[in-house]
């Protein structure tokens, strides 16, 4: 038995090393499976919880065009959550179970959605910074070693690029609008900048799982590498908007060919992922309410399907 | 790990953002397929048609879609299952797309320099022309939501299928596209009515209760306003009263299959002879508009 | 691969196959949950085709699919270098490479 496992493991390692994909029915180490389930579920939860801060503004969107864009975007997020839950399900868990783990706070979602969306500028900033950070995180996942996850991410990344563009376009419209609108944008960026940087996770020195995940081809870059890339890309975008990123230590370092930047408040990050984020309780309660309010509907559909199947079977027997 | 060249490229979208400020994916702007309709919004008012009547009629059809879309949008992040999130949002988007074209046409025909947003955001309750059913709230009760959409989509489909021949090119174009959309909405609602009506005891009770909630608003759907009467003669509008038999037949078919009972509640009577088409609404519309208009009204002169 | 025991009933999982245009095969595009076949078809149109007309969709309950399992043979039979796994899960549409 041990020999067999060794051979399987060697084949798994060779597949990953050759940058080929692991597929659902392949043998895989239990740790790999567990890590993937946790990561994909967390990702799926983030899409679903992420509908809430933006959903908060759909009914109040300030133009019909903006309303249509936001509705379509939030709808995409529901779709992304579905793709990701389906990818997780290929690993032998089911969506209902994952949802239970979310609303019982046994699984997490991205720390960013524990912050409230307080003005319409937040819709633009979520598109620009939050979706931008998500894209930095997600593009490498299109080459993740696990096939179903990688394929889900390809589909998601394609749609996400629209999300980010609409956000930036909204911000451009707002900074070219009234003084009050420009102030809204700056105020919003001030609130979201640091939480966006936290989306890449703790600093590399404090991220114990990174090395294993990279060896498994689940992760392609370290947290700090991705964070740096995000900062470097955001700086000229902020300049084009004429807004200031709220980091006094932010400056170009010609020697490194990259921007130096300040450190996010990691104590706040830890507190937020432990459940004390300003909108955490509200997000979970909302998701729980929707899930529980829908139970009778889901049961009814199942009961109806069962009745229909029985009727068809009955007809078949009679004939 | 050395970064792969392939990985660097995809982030170009990010770098090229400032070049794409005109980005206006039609899927988001109007729903797919509305590009052609947009071109027709500026078409002249058909001969022999009163411009004020046509503008008013576009408001009726547009406000029905806008307000009903708002109610369905309340379900976002609250649907009973993720698949239904997508279905509900699609429906809300379809109706919003119809509303945008119709309000744009109303503004164009009116010729007073307003646009779709001025009409959606800066009119008061009494200036809205939607029927009461569109503004009926559901308190996130799926039974009421399904009942409302079942009746609304069955009725609107009957209207739009007749309006494909309208002499107004914009109304005709919205109808042609809308028929496909409404067919889909009606199918969705009818199937859910079956599942709930013939599902569990609880779902049967709640679906029936949903119908009872909706029912007082049904009669109004078939009352013909003066504007409609004049436009029927001009070949632009269709007479809602003439759709009653078709709507009843469809609903009866659904009720029978779903083991539901057709409610016998009396219809909500008019207010001094006026109802939604004349700007006399239920108390609910004010709350819908409070939310819909609050941000736009707080920033006069802003562009978004 | 056994799922954890749960006393709740989830709607069954369906696999979705789409023919993007005439002349092409149906290709696996993803999965969804639905109580019955009709709901699955309806939702597949909403989620995976955005109701693009003229597109043909197949849905099939995932538990009705019989699949070969590569790891039943491997590693006792030498794996061929270009082996293609055909488990119907998120089978990518070839031109869906991200041009972001």
**Burial of A20 per CB tally in 10 Å (0-12, 13-18, 19+):** middle
Q: Give dist(CA B224, CA B244) in Å, integer.
A: 11
Least confident residue range of A218-232, B27-41, B70-84, C42-56 = B27-41
Instruction: Indicate whether A90 pLDDT > 50.
Output: yes
**pLDDT tens digits for A118-166?**
999 999 999 999 999 999 999 999 999 999 999 999 989 888 878 888 8
Look at C9 and A302 and tell me if their CB atoms are within 8 Å.
yes
CA torsion angle for A193, A197, A199, A204 (degrees, to 10)? -170
Nearest to A184 by CA among A117, A262, A112: A117
**pLDDT tens digits for B250-266?**
999 999 999 999 999 99
* Side-by-side strand order, sheet with C27-33: C27-33, C13-19, C56-61
* Confidence band for B12, pLDDT divided at 50, 70 and 90: very low
Q: Give dist(CA A196, CA A115) in Å, integer.
A: 10
The DSSP annotation for C40-92 comes to: HHHHHIIIIITT-TT-EEEEEEGGG-----HHHHTTTSPPPTT------SSPP
Instruction: Report the residue from A21, A79, A301 with minimal CB separation from C47.
Output: A79
Written as six digits, the tokens of B251 are 């609903």
* Confidence band for C69, pLDDT divided at 50, 70 and 90: low
pLDDT reported for residue C6:
39
The pTM of the full predicted model, rounded to 2 decimals, is 0.90
Instruction: Indicate whether A286 pLDDT > 50.
Output: yes
Mean of all residue pLDDT scores within chain B: 90
The set of chains that have 3 or more CB pairs under 8 A with C is A, B
Quote the DSSP letter at residue A22: B
* Confidence band for A316, pLDDT divided at 50, 70 and 90: confident
Q: Give dist(CA A43, CA A88) in Å, integer.
A: 10
Residue B58 backbone dihedrals phi, psi, to 5 degrees: -65, -35
Asked whether B92 and B73 are in contact (CB, 8 A), the reply is yes
* Confidence band for B287, pLDDT divided at 50, 70 and 90: very high
Strand partners, A258: A253
Least confident residue range of A171-180, B62-71, B163-172, C24-33 = C24-33
Q: What is the CATH number of domain C13-90?
A: 3.10.20.520
Chain A interface mutation, best of C90, C93, C95, highest count of A Cβ atoms under 10 Å: C90
Mean pLDDT in residue range B118-124: 98
**pLDDT tens digits for B89-101?**
999 999 999 999 9
* Confidence band for B40, pLDDT divided at 50, 70 and 90: confident
Is C60 part of the contact surface with chain B (CB cutoff 8 Å)? no
ipTM reported for the complex, 2 dp:
0.94
Q: How far is CA A41 from CA A90, A208, A242, in A?
A: 12, 20, 38
Nearest to B128 by CA among B156, B103, B154: B103
* Confidence band for C21, pLDDT divided at 50, 70 and 90: confident
Quote the DSSP letter at residue C8: S
Is B12 part of the contact surface with chain C (CB cutoff 8 Å)? yes
Mean pLDDT in residue range B202-223: 98
Look at C98 and A93 and tell me if their CB atoms are within 8 Å.
no
Instruction: Indicate whether B185 pLDDT > 80.
Output: yes
* Confidence band for C53, pLDDT divided at 50, 70 and 90: low
């Amino acid at each position: 038995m041990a020999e067999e496992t060794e051979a399987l493991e060697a084949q798994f390692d060779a597949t990953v090393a050759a940058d080929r994909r692991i597929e659902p029915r392949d043998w895989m180490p239990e740790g790999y499976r567990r890590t993937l389930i946790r990561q994909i579920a967390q990702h799926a939860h983030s899409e679903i919880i992420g509908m809430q801060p933006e959903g908060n503004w759909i009914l109040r969107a300030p133009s019909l065009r903006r309303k249509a864009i936001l509705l379509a975007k939030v709808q995409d997020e529901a779709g992304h959550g579905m793709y990701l839950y389906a990818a997780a399900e290929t690993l032998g868990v089911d969506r209902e179970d994952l949802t239970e783990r979310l609303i019982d706070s046994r699984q997490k979602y991205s720390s960013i959605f524990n912050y409230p969306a307080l003005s319409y500028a937040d819709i633009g900033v979520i598109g620009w910074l939050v979706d931008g950070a998500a894209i930095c995180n997600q593009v490498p996942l299109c080459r993740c070693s696990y096939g179903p996850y990688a394929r889900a991410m390809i589909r998601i990344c394609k749609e996400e690029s629209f999300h980010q563009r609409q956000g930036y376009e909204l911000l451009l419209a707002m900074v070219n609008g009234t003084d009050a609108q420009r102030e809204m944008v700056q105020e919003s960026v001030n609130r979201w900048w640091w939480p966006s940087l936290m989306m890449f996770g703790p600093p590399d020195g404090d991220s114990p799982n990174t090395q294993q995940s990279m060896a498994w081809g689940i992760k392609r870059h370290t947290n700090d590498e991705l964070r740096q890339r995000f900062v470097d890309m955001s700086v000229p975008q902020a300049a084009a908007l004429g807004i200031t990123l709220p980091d006094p230590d932010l400056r170009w370092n010609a020697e490194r060919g990259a921007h130096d930047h300040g450190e996010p408040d990691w104590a706040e990050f830890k507190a937020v992922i432990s459940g004390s984020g300003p909108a955490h309780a509200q997000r979970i309660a909302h998701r729980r309410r929707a899930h529980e309010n829908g139970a009778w509907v889901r049961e009814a559909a199942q009961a109806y399907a069962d009745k229909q199947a029985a009727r068809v079977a009955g007809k078949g027997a009679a004939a | 790990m050395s970064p792969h060249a392939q990985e660097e490229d995809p982030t170009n979208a990010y770098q090229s953002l400032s070049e794409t400020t005109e980005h206006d994916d039609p899927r988001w702007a109007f729903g797919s397929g509305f590009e052609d309709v947009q071109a027709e919004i500026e078409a002249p008012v058909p001969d022999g048609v009163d411009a004020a009547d046509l503008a008013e009629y576009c408001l009726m059809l547009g406000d029905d879609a806008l307000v009903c879309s708002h109610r369905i949008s309340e379900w976002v992040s609250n649907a009973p299952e993720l698949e239904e999130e997508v279905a509900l949002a699609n429906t809300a988007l379809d109706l919003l797309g119809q509303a945008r074209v119709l309000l744009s046409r109303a503004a164009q025909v009116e010729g007073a320099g307003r646009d779709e947003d001025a009409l959606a955001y800066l009119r008061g309750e009494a200036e809205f022309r939607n029927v009461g059913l569109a503004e009926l709230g559901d308190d996130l009760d799926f039974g009421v939501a399904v009942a409302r959409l079942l009746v609304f989509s069955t009725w609107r489909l009957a209207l739009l299928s007749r309006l494909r021949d309208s002499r107004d090119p914009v109304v005709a174009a919205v109808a042609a596209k809308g028929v496909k959309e409404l067919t889909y909405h009606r199918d969705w609602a009818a199937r859910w009515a079956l599942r709930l009506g013939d599902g569990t005891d609880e779902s049967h009770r709640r679906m029936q209760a949903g119908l009872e909630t909706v029912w007082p608003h049904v009669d109004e759907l078939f009352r013909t306003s003066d504007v409609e009467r004049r436009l029927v003669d001009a070949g632009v509008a269709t007479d809602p009263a003439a759709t009653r038999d078709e709507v009843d037949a469809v609903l009866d078919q659904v009720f029978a299959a779903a083991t539901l009972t057709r409610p016998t509640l009396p219809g909500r009577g008019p207010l001094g002879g006026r109802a939604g088409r004349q700007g006399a609404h239920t108390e609910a519309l004010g709350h819908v508009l409070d939310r819909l208009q609050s941000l736009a009204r707080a920033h006069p002169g802003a562009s978004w | 691969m056994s799922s954890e025991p749960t006393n709740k009933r989830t709607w069954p999982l369906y696999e979705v196959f789409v023919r993007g245009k005439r002349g092409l095969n149906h290709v696996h595009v993803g999965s969804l949950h639905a109580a019955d076949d009709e709901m699955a078809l309806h939702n597949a149109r909403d989620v995976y085709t955005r109701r693009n007309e003229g597109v043909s969709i197949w849905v099939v309950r995932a538990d009705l699919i019989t699949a070969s399992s590569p790891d039943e043979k491997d590693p006792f039979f030498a794996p061929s270098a270009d082996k293609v796994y055909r488990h119907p899960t998120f089978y990518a549409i070839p031109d869906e490479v991200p041009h972001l």
